[in-house]
Amino acid sequence: MNIRNSIVSRYFLVSLLGAVLPMVVVAALYDRYASALLDQITGERLSAQLTATSSRLTAFFDVRVYQIETLSNHPALPYLVQQRTSRSDIELEALLRLEADVPDLYGILLFDSAGALTRIVAGQAASGAPYWSGLSFDLARLPVMKAVSGDVDVVGPVAPDDGSSGWFLIRQPLRKSATGDDSGSIALHVRLASVTELLGSASLAGIVQPVLKTPRGYFNAVGQAVMPSRQMVAGPEVLPGWQPMLVVDPDQLFRPFITAQKSLFLVSLVSIAVITLLFARLAARLRRRVDRLTLGADAVAAGNLDYRIATRVGDEIDAVAAAFNSMAERLQALIARTVRVERLAVLGEFATGVAHEIRNPLATIKTTVQALARGEKDRERGELLQDVGVEIDRLNRVMGDLLEFGRPRPPELAPVPAAELLARIEALMAAPAHEAGVVLRVDGRTGIVLHADRDQLIQVIVNLVINAVQATPAGGSVRVRAIRIGREAGIEVRDTGAGIAEAHLARITDPFFTTKPKGTGLGLSIARQLAELQGGRLEIGSAPGAGTTVRLIVPMEKPEP
C-alpha cells in the first residue's frame, strides 16, 4: 500500500492540522494582540488611578499653601524674624508651634531677607537637620519651583540619606516692613513621605507601581528615590515639575500569557505525538484488516468461492467484509446455478437423444419378445421371455423419465386449493403406504390456495411421498401437510426414516445421483426442475437417524381486489 495514497495518511494530516493549526494561529497572533490587550485592560483603569492620585496630591498642596499663606500674613512675623521679643511674640510662637504640630510637618522655619535661617519651630515629627545641631542644612543647591499661584515656592525635595528622612519646603515671603524692606520668609518643612504616601500601593498584582516625579528625580510610595526602567504612564501635574506617574511592568503582566503560550506549545507537541502514535497504530491495524479484504478478493478471483472474511468489531470495515461475504455467496450460488443449468441443458439434450434412439428399438424388441413368448412351448423359456419383457418395460420407464427430464412440459399455472391436492395425494398413496407398513398422515384441513400447475404438483408430491415411504421402516410414519411461509406456501412431507448423510444432502437433487440400489437418480431432479419451473423451490432438511423433511414451496394465489 502506497503511504501517499493511504486514506489513513490523509486523515492523519487532516486531524493533525485540525488539532495543531488553531494553537499555532493563537500563538502567532499572541504578540500582535498582547500590547493592544494590555492597553485595553489597563488604559482606563490607569487613567482613573492617576486622576485620583493627582486629586489627592493637589488637595494636600492646597492645604499647605493655604496654611503658609495664612501664616505669612501675620503682622508680627517680621519682628519675630528680626529677633525682637515681646509678649505678642510669645503668642506668635505658640501659634507657630500649634501649626507645626501636625504629622505631615517636621516644623516651621523662618528666614531673614538674606535667606539665613533665623528661627526654628519644631513639630512633633521633627528629626535631623536643622533640629539636631551639627547637621548641615543648605538650600543653595536645591531646585526652587514656583507654585501654581501666588508667591509660594517649593524648594527641594531632598531624598532620604544616612538615616535622615526626605523633605521639601513650601516657602512664602513675609509682608514687607513699613520701610519697604524685605522682611524675610517663612517655610513649612514638609515630610516627603507624607506626599508619596498619597500615591497609594501597587495595583494589578504588582504590575503597576506608582512613583512621584519631582525636579530632583523619582520617588516611590515610601519616599525612597528610584530610577524607573519600565514603561511609565504620566498623570496630571500638581505643581511645576511635580507629577504622579505609574510604572507599568509588562513582563509581569505578560508572564501568565507567556506561561500559557509555552503550555500551548507543549500541548501542541504532545498532541502531535499522541495523534501520530494513534494514527500509526490505527494505520497498522487498518492495513491488516484491508489486507484481509485484498486476500479475500484475490482468493475469489482465483476461483476459491468458499473463502469468507471473519467479522468481529462491527465497524465500517466489517460492513465491507460482510458485503464481500454476501457477494461471494451470491456469486457462488450464481455460478453453481449457471453450471447446473448448463449441465442440465447438455444432459437433457443428451437424454432426449438417447431416449429417442433407444425407445424405438425397445418397441421392436418388446413386440418380438411377446411374439416369441406366445409361441414358446417350453415353460422355462417362456418365463425367461416374460422376464425380458418386464425389464424392457422398466427400461422404457427410464427412457420416459429421461424424456421428461430433458424436455419438461411448460407449467399451466392456475389456483390449486391445497385441501383438494392433499385429498388426491392421500387417495393415490394410501395403498402403497399401507403395503409398506407405514402410517400415512395427511392434514388436508387448510384454506391455502397455491398458484401452480396441478398435475405437476401431484407428480412432484407423489414422488416425494414414494421416496419417504421407501426410506421409512415398517411401523414408521409419513406426514403430509400444507404450510404457509410469508407470502409463499407449499406442501411439507416429513418422514421418520433413517435420514440422509450430510455428504449426500448437497447432491441429493443432482441428476442420476441416488442411494437406492435400483434407483435412477432422476426423481428428485425432476421434482426440483418442476418446482423451479413454477417459480418455486425444493427445500430438503435431514440428519442421520432423525428422518427427512422436504418442502415444496410455490407462490400463493393472490386474492382478487
* Residue ranges with strand state E in 388-542: 414-417, 439-443, 449-452, 477-485, 488-495, 537-542
Q: Which of 144, 137, 135, 132 is nearest to 173 (CA)?
A: 144
CB hemisphere CA count around 63 (13 angstroms): 12
pLDDT tens for 239-295 read 888 999 988 776 666 666 677 777 777 877 887 788 778 777 877 777 777 788 888
pLDDT tens for 19-45 read 667 767 766 666 666 666 656 555 677
Residue type, 500: I
Q: Phi first, then psi: what are they for 357, rounded to 5°?
A: -70, -25
**411-555: CATH number:** 3.30.565.10
pLDDT for residue 312 is more than 80: no
- Dig out the grid coordinates for 71 from the structure: 501664616
Residues of the chain with CATH 3.30.450.20: 46-126+137-266
Q: Which residue has the cell 498584582?
A: 205
Q: In this structure, are residues 418 and 489 in contact, taking their beta carbons and an 8 Å threshold? A: yes
Verify cis geometry, omega within 30 degrees of 0, for the bond prior to 555: no
The predicted model scores a pTM of 0.45
CA of 561: how far to CAs of 418, 488, 555, 556, 558, in Å? 21, 18, 17, 15, 9
Of 51-65, 169-183, 448-462, which has the strongest mean pLDDT? 51-65
Q: 3-state class of 186 per DSSP? A: strand
- Distance between CA atoms of 223 and 207, rounded to whole angstroms? 19
- Distance between CA atoms of 237 and 243, rounded to whole angstroms? 4
pLDDT (0 to 100) of residue 346: 58
Beta bridge partners of 226: 218
Residue type, 545: G
- Distance between CA atoms of 121 and 82, rounded to whole angstroms? 15
Q: What is the mean pLDDT of residues 71-85?
A: 74
Residues sharing a CB contact under 8 Å with residue 420, sequence separation 6 or more, in sequence order: none
Helices (H), 488-522: 502-505
For residue 328, the tally of other CB atoms under 10 A from its CB is 20
pLDDT (0 to 100) of residue 486: 80
Residue type, 366: K
Residues of the chain with CATH 3.30.565.10: 411-555
Full DSSP string of 227-296? ---SEEEE---SBTTBEEEEEE-HHHHHHHHHHHHHHHHHHHHHHHHHHHHHHHHHHHHHHHHHHHHHHH
Residue type, 271: S
Q: In this structure, are residues 500 and 544 in contact, taking their beta carbons and an 8 Å threshold? A: yes
**305-407: CATH number:** 1.10.287
Beta bridge partners of 185: 111, 173
Residues of the chain with CATH 1.10.287: 305-407
pLDDT tens for 498-531 read 888 777 777 777 766 676 666 666 677 777 877 8
Q: Which residue has the cell 507599568?
A: 248
- Dig out the grid coordinates for 97 from the structure: 508651634
End-to-end CA distance of the chain: 60
Q: In this structure, are residues 542 and 549 in contact, taking their beta carbons and an 8 Å threshold? A: yes
Q: Which of 100, 185, 79, 179 is nearest to 87 (CA)?
A: 79
- Give the pLDDT band (50/70/90) at residue 1: very low
Q: 3-state class of 507 per DSSP? A: coil
pLDDT (0 to 100) of residue 213: 92
> How many Å is the maximal CA-CA distance in the chain?
200
The three-point CA angle 253-259-263 to 5° equals 155
- Give the pLDDT band (50/70/90) at residue 154: very high
pLDDT tens for 42-66 read 567 778 888 888 999 999 998 998 8
Q: In this structure, are residues 185 and 172 in contact, taking their beta carbons and an 8 Å threshold? A: yes
Q: 3-state class of 148 per DSSP? A: coil
**46-126+137-266: CATH number:** 3.30.450.20
Residue type, 30: Y
